[in-house]
Amino acid sequence: MRVELDVARCQGHARCLALAPSLFDIDDDGFGRVLIDGEVGTSDIEAAKSAVINCPEGAILIVE
Ligand code: SF4
């Protein structure tokens, strides 16, 4: 399972960072970025799903 962030859709709400800080960060321009190489460990699966559901721009995708 991997997470991807579509930077073209991201508007910098930072909910991803709040909900899944082990997976996401905010870059110097205020937009989200994936911290890891995209591969989600077992312990972060629920956080990843929460970030997907709560991103208001639909910018986060889970790829199985
Ligand atoms: S929650 Fe969505 S729109 Fe907001 S910073 Fe994260 S990816 Fe971007």
Q: Are 8 and 15 in contact (CB under 8 A)?
A: no
What does the pLDDT read at residue 39?
84
What does the pLDDT read at residue 36?
82
Distance 11 CA to ligand 1 centre (A): 6
DSSP, residue by residue, the chain: -EEEE-TTT-----HHHHH-TTTEEE-TTS-EEESSSSBPPGGGHHHHHHHHHH-TT--EEEE-
What does the pLDDT read at residue 37?
82
Distance 6 CA to ligand 1 centre (A): 9
Please check the confidence at residue 60 and state whether its pLDDT lies above 90.
Answer: yes
Distance 52 CA to ligand 1 centre (A): 9
Indicate if ligand 1 lies below 6 Å from the C-beta of 48.
no
What does the pLDDT read at residue 16?
97
Of 28, 24, 29, nearest in space to 61 by CA: 24
Indicate if ligand 1 lies below 6 Å from the C-beta of 58.
no
Segment 12-58, tens digit of pLDDT? 989 999 999 999 999 999 999 999 887 899 999 999 999 999 999 99
Degrees, nearest 5: CA angle 58-59-64: 95
